[in-house]
Structure 1
Amino acid sequence: MKDPNAPTEGILGHVPLVVVLVLAVLVGWAAWWVVRYVRTDAMTRQSIRQAVRVRWGWKRLAPMLKLSATDKTPTALASLANTSGKPIKPRVLIPTLKVKHDAYGVIARAQCLPGVGLQQFQKAGPHLADAWRCTRVAVTQDKPGQVLIRGVRLDPLKFPTEHHPTGEPPEETARWDLGLDEYAQPVSVNLTQVPGVTVAGLPGFGKTSLINRLLSDWAPSPAVQFACADGKVSAAYEGDYADWVQRMFAFVGDDLEEANKLFRHLVELRRARSASVRQMLGVKSMWDVGPSEHWPLVVLIVDEAHTYFRDHKGSDQQTKKLAALAAENARLVEDLVKKGRSVGLLVILTTQKSTGDAIPTFIRDVCPVGLSFAQKTAEASVAALGEEIREWPDANPINLQDPTYVGVASMNHQSQPGFTRIRTPYVPDAEAARVAERTAHLTADPSVLLEAFLGLRLADVDLTKLDV
């Protein structure tokens, strides 16, 4: 006769095996975490410990910050189980929180509840910063019904970074990757349909390095061509762009007459493109089809722009000539900025102090993207970023004069209100030179490309329909 206890004994006989398997999984998981923890740097280890504290303390912290909801309606299961007839206690709902870490702090995603949404999380932001031991906390909408909470334990703006260009063409031709914001999130700006960019700031605080990154990232694309007027030098080999000249179809130094020839050449290109864009591309705006090898985005860099626009005072013949050239330069660059957008011309102007005497206001005020590194005066900050910067004192570039903030700029970002501060990376000279050398064969004068595409000289292009 079969023993009735046999099945039970069979099940119990497998219990040790199940326990061993569970213990093995737990030990393996623990070992994986220990190895991962040990192999990371000290900053990341701190963030791992911080993320653990955030997870463990969330259910207690959320109700204290009024980030919970009370559900007075009993569930169907609770109603069925309630045989005593006593009122069922309301449930306290806690938003689900998923936490990740990086070197600077934690990134948490929380599910919203009725009455507990973006506004409530933003209101609790300062208290979350205190509880999580963060320098600052930002709360944004991640997607409908979910918020993204970014807490930084360390200020990303105080840590210099480096950018190592891949040498590969960018995925998006007109996207400029700038660096990390004050929450260590990557910041980029879309320069599609943008006619001009202004970059201001004290000498040695990062303007040229910022341009260097753009060159390093965009140079591998044959759909981008560069020209430069560098007001700091007389010859290319003297300046910051010595390595990049081989990737530029034109370069001039501080000679106003040479700069005038370059600006005039580009205006002629702009006029020819305006007259032929429909014939060649079948559209009114180049951006409807995007830049290409035959119709590239033309980037003109005007470094130390005040060199070319400064109003020269004096009655002698030489001074009058310089004054006339400066006025003509301003008129030509104004043409490029105001009329070059739809045919693929982008002007980037850098100067120390972008007041009206450095960059004429009729040029500066039509450049929709502006950045400023450290400034000494409120006047210079307003000139670079507009009157609205007065309402954002924390982002004002007059606060960036400390050497710690070399490479940090303020800007009015396209995708969010107000101003944000950005840590721009340094590109090692050797790596920039390597990219310039490897991409030098891509250099071509856009005027020559246009002539080849049209099959005639630009002088023969019908310009009667331009400037419309």
Structure 2
Amino acid sequence: MALRTVGRRRSRGGLLPERDLSIFDPMVLGINEFGAAVRVLLIYRNILIGGEPGGGKSSLLNLIVAYAAVCLDCTLVLLDGKQVELGQWEACAQAFVGPDIDGALQVLQRLQIVMDNRYRWLRWHLRRKIKPGDSFRPIVLAIDEIAYYSATVLDKAKREMFSALLRDLVARGRAIGIIVAAATQRPSSDIIPTSLRDLFAWRASFRTTNDSSSDIVLGHGWANQGWTANAISPTNQGAALLIAEGGVPGLIKVAWLDDGECAAIAAYAAELRGLLEEAGPRPKLTVVAA
């Protein structure tokens, strides 16, 4: 499925979209079995992506990051255990961490502080969640290869701290605009505990090697009802089962961006974000957003 180029208009210093994209609007992930566009709303939600290597999970994660990058009303924070899956978007991100558990922990701890500060702000203003036009922007936290941080690092205490911090952000961050999009190529219970998986409103499972791995992503019992990512053909890359909170899995074909397209969108988004910074400073992760 190809993506069409967004219409643009000329502006001082560069190009801007005809209509600003917003993280508060639904984004297109791909098409369903009938060829209709599949749209998901990420704000106030999170998405978990799993599957075997080569199934297409990184394509979906890059698609989400690409959309977030050109939404000027959100901030990008990227954790990438392999460095290269999300590396093209580094210039668009406020923070980028590679295979560095200490750096990842520092970023998650800062996000936790931001989360608490934002909830304090909402309490002061007698509100329960953020909305468009607030003085702070939603934050998209994209993590590729959770397993590196939660299972591969030798220091057990740091692995457990990473999992605890991530669970807290997924559990409490929705209302204040922290959107977690996390992917792993080896879905197992030690990497994605049930208590963490069930907090993700959206879950996408690309092909898995067995029914158990499919259920780890989608939820227990779906394989027995005939919904298993193990049934997806190895040659059908980009196909996944997508389930929404309280819903039923559905087969989708995820839109695909090649390296050249990702690089072009990333450069365009970095230019747009540069123009945005010229218009005025924005709060950093370590600043109380008010």
What is the TM-score when the length of structure 1 is the normalising length? 0.54
The correspondence of residues 297-336 of structure 1 with structure 2, limited to 5 A, is 297-310=138-151, 319=154, 322-336=155-169
The correspondence of residues 29-428 of structure 1 with structure 2, limited to 5 A, is 161-166=1-6, 168=17, 169-170=20-21, 173-194=24-45, 196-233=46-83, 239-279=84-124, 283-286=127-130, 289-290=131-132, 292=134, 294-310=135-151, 319=154, 322-393=155-226, 395-403=227-235, 405-413=236-244, 418-428=248-258
Alpha-carbon distance in 1 for matches of 2:80, 2:23: 27
Residue in structure 2 matched with residue 146 of structure 1 by the alignment:
none
Q: Deviations over 1:197-245 (max 9, x none)?
A: 1100111111111122222223222211111111123xxxxx0222210
Alpha-carbon distance in 1 for matches of 2:133, 2:151: 33
Residue in structure 2 matched with residue 139 of structure 1 by the alignment:
none
Q: Does 1:431 align with 2:261?
A: yes
Q: Please tell me the residue identity of whatever aligns with 2:78.
A: C
Q: Please tell me the residue identity of whatever aligns with 2:53.
A: P
Q: Please tell me the residue identity of whatever aligns with 2:222.
A: I
Question: Is contact 2:66-2:265 (8 Å) kept?
Answer: yes
**Runs of 5+ unmatched residues, structure 1:** 1-160, 234-238, 313-318, 455-468
Question: Is contact 2:27-2:40 (8 Å) kept?
Answer: yes
The structure having more radius of gyration, on CA atoms, is 1
Residue in structure 2 matched with residue 22 of structure 1 by the alignment:
none
Question: Aligned with 2:166: secondary structure?
Answer: helix
Return the offset for 1:414.
5.9
Q: Please tell me the residue identity of whatever aligns with 2:258.
A: P
**Count of residues paired in the alignment:** 273
Question: Is contact 1:392-1:418 (8 Å) kept?
Answer: no
From 264, 270, 276, the equivalent of 1:440 is 270
Question: Is contact 1:165-1:216 (8 Å) kept?
Answer: no
Per the alignment, do residues 165 and 245 of structure 1 end up closer, same or farther by CA in structure 2, a change over 3 Å counting?
farther
Return the offset for 1:323.
0.7
Return the offset for 1:291.
5.9
Q: Please tell me the residue identity of whatever aligns with 1:166.
A: V
Q: Which has the higher contact order (CA 8 A, sep 6+)?
A: 2
Alpha-carbon distance in 2 for matches of 1:413, 1:326: 28
Q: Deviations over 1:376-433 (max 9, x none)?
A: 111101111112422442x421111421x10001012469x53210011111322222
Question: Aligned with 1:203: secondary structure?
Answer: coil
Question: Is contact 1:295-1:450 (8 Å) kept?
Answer: no
Per the alignment, do residues 360 and 418 of structure 1 end up closer, same or farther by CA in structure 2, a change over 3 Å counting?
closer
**Runs of 5+ unmatched residues, structure 2:** 8-16
Q: Deviations over 1:245-296 (max 9, x none)?
A: 00010011112111111111111111111112244x652211xx2365x311
Residue in structure 1 matched with residue 13 of structure 2 by the alignment:
none
What is the TM-score when the length of structure 2 is the normalising length? 0.85
Return the offset for 1:446.
6.6
Q: Please tell me the residue identity of whatever aligns with 1:379.
A: S
Alpha-carbon distance in 1 for matches of 2:75, 2:248: 32
Alpha-carbon distance in 1 for matches of 2:118, 2:87: 30
Per the alignment, do residues 453 and 422 of structure 1 end up closer, same or farther by CA in structure 2, a change over 3 Å counting?
closer
Q: Deviations over 1:308-331 (max 9, x none)?
A: 11176xxxxxx4xx1111111111
Alpha-carbon distance in 1 for matches of 2:55, 2:270: 28
Per the alignment, do residues 449 and 265 of structure 1 end up closer, same or farther by CA in structure 2, a change over 3 Å counting?
closer
Q: Please tell me the residue identity of whatever aligns with 1:327.
A: E
Question: Is contact 2:65-2:142 (8 Å) kept?
Answer: no
Question: Is contact 2:82-2:99 (8 Å) kept?
Answer: yes
Question: Is contact 1:164-1:431 (8 Å) kept?
Answer: no
Question: Is contact 1:413-1:420 (8 Å) kept?
Answer: no
If each structure's helix is expressed as a fraction of its own residues, which one has the higher value?
Answer: 1
Question: Aligned with 2:269: secondary structure?
Answer: helix
Q: Deviations over 1:425-465 (max 9, x none)?
A: 111322222221122252779742884864xxxxxxxxxxx
Per the alignment, do residues 450 and 324 of structure 1 end up closer, same or farther by CA in structure 2, a change over 3 Å counting?
closer
